[in-house]
Structure 1
């Protein structure tokens, strides 16, 4: 991914980061939000389990987090896309 030069300039000027550092931050943020739902759920479940949280609370928390989180859509086949459009 090549970061948009206007975005790089804006991030660099507003944060005091160098352009190279701004690119790295932008790429990290995009990668974080591009994480597929399944990977996010597994990662969060494992993280919360580490701290002794029980499954009912974990699943409720993850559902709430997903509601407000930008996540990558799962890969969809042409058939799945057609079903979305045509029902």
Structure 2
């Protein structure tokens, strides 16, 4: 995984962490957000179903959540989201 040295330097300078600690922190955060889109959609769909949500509520919510991800996902239609979940 590529870690932008400018980001590491910024984290180190603004947090008081050493450069090695800052790099480790940035790597941890990036790996947290490294889930493939299809896996994220399936996982989040299952989570929402667990809490009793219905598909009519879930798919618009997934679209809205995708727009707020740290790494921008493509603007998927509800149909595209359904295809990821159900094939």
Could you state the TM-score of these two structures normalised by the residue count of structure 1? 0.61
Paired residue for 1:34? Answer: 34
Task: Return 5+ residue gaps in structure 1 as ranges.
Answer: 74-87
Alpha-carbon separation, structure 1, partners of 2:14 and 2:32: 21
Higher RCO structure (Cα 8 Å, ≥6 apart): 1
Q: Does 1:54 align with 2:54?
A: yes
Paired residue for 1:78? Answer: none
Q: Does 1:21 align with 2:28?
A: no
Higher Rg of the two aligned structures? 1
Shift of 1:24: 2.3
Alpha-carbon separation, structure 2, partners of 1:34 and 1:9: 21
The alignment of Structure 1 onto Structure 2 pairs a total of residues equal to: 73
Shift of 1:72: 6.3
> Considering only aligned residues, what root-mean-square deviation do their CA atoms show, in Å?
2.4
Paired residue for 1:5? Answer: 5
SS in 1 for 2:64: helix
Alpha-carbon separation, structure 2, partners of 1:18 and 1:4: 16
